[in-house]
A and B are shown apart, each in its own frame.
Chain A
Amino acid sequence: MLPLSYNIKSIAIRWKSALLAIIGISLVVAVFLCLLAMASGFQLALRATGSTLNALVLQEGSQSELSSSFPKDAGDRVAVDRRIARGVDSKPLVSPELVTIVALPRRADGELSNVTVRGVTPAAFNVRNGLRIIEGRNLKPGLYEVVVGRGVQARIRGLEVGQRIKMMKREFDVVGVMDADGSAFDSEIWGDFDAMGSAFNLAGTENSLTLRLADRSSMPGFDKELRENPQVQLQMKSERQYYEDQAGALTGFLRALAIFVSVVMGTGAVFGAMNTMNAIVAARSREVGTLRALGFSRAIILSAFVLEGLTLALAGGVIGCILSLLVNGLQATTTANMGEIAFAFRVTPLNLGYGLTFAATMGVIGSLLPAFRAAWLPIAVALREA
């Protein structure tokens, strides 16, 4: 085996050409990682929204809370089921909710943006963990008040504590700001269940029921019962599953775009790396001949050149990873559940791993042909070449 320092020194001699190949690979890795970071960020935001402990009850066949609707008394009958866990106050952990969207002006340009508005009872804050009021106070039951998510407050005009917003024909006081730890609730406005019901002419109905099961394994049976109820057909799914489904289409699109763009770009960069490696091999053919004459086997020469390509590509991969970290935390918004959701780009360790693996693959593929050429060159010819 040839020492690694031999490879590094030989790259250093052709540093200009090597650098161009490295930059090419790093750009490909950076684009790949940025797209993955966007998909991960969106998925993580929605994943963080749904808890594995909770279950969501919707009208059967509805894909989202917005398109689901059932009479409140049907929801109330589900809410007294014994399989539901109880909170510290020994009341069942069930949160009936009204969900709609309202078009409100964006802070940046005044264009209208769709915001999800949710009518809740105090139970909503017990069923869901990690919600904190960071400014002002929480809702008081029965009043025309709202608390606004941190994200939506930053994005939409007129949502400071103390201001009023008009929805339908009612004015609502903004009384507090809610921090939902980067989840989709950060992009929502919450008001009292009954007040919302009367303002939006939705009294007597609800869109969804979020509840905590005492035993998660009872979900499939519960779901079956709800679907088979002859009066009102409902369905139950895990809250986590629901939000992951909501993320599905967009993350799928972004992942597919990431793969398409980086495979095409990556093939281009592999050709670039191949040129560099070819030049390196050609310049050193006499050296290779000498090594072979000294008794180093073909396999060793081959692996030495592949290792060289790999080193080059990994250097590019690392630079690409560092470049992609620049977009980590970048804010973006998208539409899900028909309302806008803010999320941050997330470069996860797994993504970085994918990036480096991708770079390594490009390096190995790019150096394999030139390495074969070097290793299979007849010794006599190699020594003669200038």
Chain B
Amino acid sequence: MRFLPFILRHLRRNWARTSTTAAAIALCIFLFCTLQTFVASLTGFLMQGTTRLVTRHNVSRAFRMPNSYEAQIAAVPGVKRVAAANWFGGMRDLSKPADVFTNFAIEADSFLAIYPEFILTDEEKQAFLNDQRGCIIGRALAEKFNWKVGDAVELVSSVSDYRTSAPLDFVISGIYHTDQVRYPGTNDALLFFHYKYFDEATGRKAGVATYRVEIADPGQVGAISQAIDTLFENSDAQTHTETEAQYRASLGVLGGNLVLLLNGIALTVMFTILFVTANTMSMAVRERRTEIAVLKTLGFPSRFVMCLILSEGAILGAFGAVTGLLLGRFLLDALPNVPLIGDLIQSFPRMSLPRAIAIGGIAIGVLLGLTAGLIPAVLAYRARITELVRPT
């Protein structure tokens, strides 16, 4: 600690070099944390709901099951709740595919109980449940289209079987909120409306695309899935029941590949900072050969000289990492308003930097600084005084 001012003085010696290196580290740590946050929310999203199963037609989700299955599934021992949910594919204007957002017809009462991650106030929830034509939307969707509670929304489905002669009209009963800490990756750009309204509008012929099933004991996933599928084994529409994680994975664009890709990028980013920082550290040490010789001549042990250089690297790394995190905090808020990148981010669940990743980012910064300082530090440790004072 006594030598901290000495180390800081060294860092200030070449002001431009220190600040550009710190900026390079900051940018890379920022990128690293952003990518990791994204990966965390993606995997968090895939892993949610260990007590939830999804039952669909066994051929694929392009086929639908009769409405009568619900009561039979609910009667299976171990099943707590069942809710029908159909992806509606509704659009405000079929000729404008760019405007698209995701909307579902749900059996609201049980669905909201199964999915606690869509948070509504009691009044909003009651208003939604009481209004046959009510719908609830996520915060991001409300911002995108500038929608408020009470606004009317008209949707036509792009799915052939769900086409109605006139668009379905809704009134927004509430705007749901999400808790990204408890339920990472919850999508806040969805619209939900009543299955009953949808069923009546389509002439009670549409059927059910998925049954969302909540079970009491996560240990019974296999047994209950099998029990449900056995129920309908001999009927016209056989079913396939899987965990929600499996179901989501089968829908995902790129899914596991994307996580691998982002982790690969994060790793390359770390290597890049390592090279930039190592470059700076070795330059800094090379310039100070004579000074190191003086320190050694004065009787400071070689180990002490080595520690000085290593701490210099670590401080540089930590400084860069903290700057990067501050940058990240600011940018994650500001980014959705940038044209190209904003659109990109909006199609994903809202992110916030988890504490574990922030701490990880700082640790990586410090570690990289130490690693970058390692080679020059060892060289300084080994070099003899006579070598150091000899002009190059």
List, in ascending order, chain B residues with CB within 8 A of A102's CB: 59-60
**Contact A31 B265, CB 8 Å, known A67-B89, A272-B24, A275-B17:** yes
Point out the residues of chain B lying under 8 angstroms from A61, CB to CB.
91, 94-95, 156, 158
Shortest beta-carbon distance from A268 to chain B in Å: 4
State whether A30 and B160 are in contact (beta carbons under 8 Å apart), knowing that A272-B275, A278-B17 are contacts in the complex.
Answer: no
Given that A68-B160, A168-B59 are contacting pairs, would A20 and B276 also be in contact in the complex, using a CB cutoff of 8 Å?
yes
Q: With A253-B344, A276-B279 known to touch, is A63 a contact of B158 (CB < 8 Å)?
A: yes
Q: How far is the CB of B279 from chain A (nearest CB, A)?
A: 4
A224 within 8 A of B: no
Q: State whether B276 touches A272 (Cβ < 8 A).
A: yes
Within 8 Å of chain B (Cβ to Cβ): is A103? yes
User: Bound state CA distance, A35 and B16, in angstroms?
Assistant: 33
Contact bitstring A20-37, B, C-beta under 8 A = 1, else 0: 110110011011001100
Interface residue B137 (Cβ < 8 Å from any Cβ of A): no
For residue A134, CB closer than 8 A to chain B, the reply is: no
B71 at the interface (CB under 8 A from A): no
Q: Tell yes or no: B146 within 8 A of A by CB.
A: no
Give which listed residue, B16, B23, B161, B250, contacts A114 with CB less than 8 A.
B250
Chain B window 239-269, contacts with chain A (Cβ cutoff 8 Å), 1 for yes, 0 for no: 0101000100111111001000100110011
Asked if B62 is at the interface (CB within 8 A of a chain A CB), the reply is yes
| B157, closest chain A residue (CB) | A67
Distance in angstroms between the alpha carbons of A268 and B276 in the assembled complex: 8
Given that A16-B282, A59-B160 are contacting pairs, would A27 and B271 also be in contact in the complex, using a CB cutoff of 8 Å?
A: yes
For residues 34 through 80 of chain B, which have their beta carbon under 8 Å from a beta carbon of chain A? 35, 58-63
* Among B31, B254, B275, B279, contact of A264 (Cβ-Cβ < 8 Å): B31
B24 touches A271 (CB 8 A): yes
Q: From A199, which residue of chain B is reached at the shortest CB distance?
A: B59
- Docked CA distance A102–B97 (Å): 25
Contact bitstring A44-56, B, C-beta under 8 A = 1, else 0:
0000000000000
Contact: B23 with A265, CB < 8 Å? no
Q: Which residues of B contact A245 (CB under 8 A)?
A: 97
Interface contact A101-B268, CB-CB below 8 Å: no
Is B152 part of the contact surface with A, judged by Cβ < 8 Å? Answer: no
- List residues 78-102 of chain B with CB under 8 A from any CB of chain A: 89, 91, 94-95, 97, 100
**With an 8 A cutoff between CB atoms, is B341 at the interface?**
yes
Cross-chain contact B250 with A113 (CB below 8 angstroms)? yes
Chain B: interface residue total (CB-CB under 8 A): 59
Binary per-residue interface labels of chain A (223-251) against chain B in the complex, 1 for a CB within 8 Å, 0 otherwise: 00000000000000000000001000110
Known A67-B158, A103-B59; contact A60-B265, beta-carbon cutoff 8 A = no
Contact B59 A275 (CB under 8 A): no
Q: Is B164 an interface residue (CB 8 A)?
A: no
The stretch of A144-152, A175-183, A295-303, A330-338 that contacts the partner chain: A330-338
CA A60 – CA B273 in complex, angstroms?
52
Chain A residues contacting B226 (CB-CB under 8 Å) are none
Q: At the interface, yes or no: A269 with Cβ under 8 Å from chain B? A: yes
Asked whether A62 is an interface residue with its Cβ less than 8 Å from the other chain, the reply is: yes
Whether B28 and A279, one on each chain, are in contact in the complex, defined by CB atoms closer than 8 angstroms, is no
* Contact A275–B20 (Cβ < 8 Å): yes
Report if B142 contacts A (CB, 8 A).
no
Is residue A66 contacting chain B, with contact meaning CB distance below 8 A?
yes
B293 at the A interface (CB under 8 A)? no
Question: With A17-B282, A61-B94 known to touch, is A30 a contact of B268 (CB < 8 Å)?
Answer: yes
> Of the candidates B160, B246, B252, which one forms a contact with A335 in the assembled complex, judged by CB atoms under 8 Å apart?
B252
Near B by CB (< 8 A), chain A positions 84-101 give: 100-101
Query: In the bound complex, do residue A268 and residue B272 qualify as a contact, i.e. CB atoms below 8 Å apart?
Result: yes
Q: Is the CB of A271 within 8 A of B340?
A: no
Check if B30 is an interface residue, CB within 8 A of chain A.
yes
Q: Is B106 an interface residue (CB 8 A)?
A: no
A333-B252 Cα distance, complex, nearest whole Å = 11
The docked-state distance in angstroms from the alpha carbon of A230 to that of B23 is 64
- The answer to whether B16 and A27 have CB atoms under 8 Å apart is no
In the complex, are the beta carbons of A271 and B257 less than 8 A apart?
no
Contact of A271 among B21, B61, B63, B253 (CB under 8 A): B21
Bound-state Cα–Cα, A34 to B263, Å: 13
Report if B311 contacts A (CB, 8 A).
no
Residues of chain B within 8 A of A38, CB atoms compared: 261
Chain B nearest CB, measured from A385 CB (Å) = 13
Q: Among B30, B95, B344, which residue has the most Cβ atoms of chain A within 10 A? A: B344
Say if the beta carbon of B283 comes within 8 Å of chain A.
Answer: yes
A293 at the interface (CB under 8 A from B): no
Report the separation of the CA atoms of residues A167 and B60 in the bound assembly, to the nearest whole angstrom: 10
Task: Give the residues in chain B near A80, CB-CB below 8 Å.
Answer: none
Cβ contact of B257, chosen from A28, A100, A275, A333, cutoff 8 A: A333
Is there contact, CB below 8 Å, between A275 and B97?
no
A94 to B60, CA, bound (A): 28
Give bound CA distance, A1 to B28, whole Å: 38
Residue of B nearest to A14 (CB): B283
Q: Is the CB of A20 within 8 A of B158?
A: no
Cα distance, A272 to B251, chains bound together (Å): 41
Partner pick for A103 among B16, B60, B89, B156, CB 8 A cutoff: B60
Known: A24-B275, A271-B24. 12 other contacts (CB 8 A): A20-B276, A35-B265, A59-B160, A63-B158, A101-B62, A103-B61, A253-B347, A256-B344, A267-B24, A271-B276, A272-B276, A275-B280
A-B contact pairs, 11 of them (CB 8 A): A60-B94, A61-B95, A62-B158, A63-B97, A103-B250, A265-B28, A275-B21, A276-B279, A335-B252, A335-B253, A338-B62
Please provide the 8 A-B residue pairs with the shortest distance between their CB atoms, ordered closest to farther: A61-B94, A272-B276, A69-B160, A271-B24, A271-B20, A268-B24, A20-B279, A256-B344
Interface residues in chain A, defined as those with a beta carbon under 8 Å from any beta carbon in chain B: 16-17, 20-21, 23-24, 27-28, 30-31, 34-35, 38, 59-63, 66-70, 100-103, 111-114, 167-168, 200, 245, 249-250, 252-253, 256-257, 259-261, 264-265, 267-269, 271-272, 274-276, 278-279, 332-335, 338
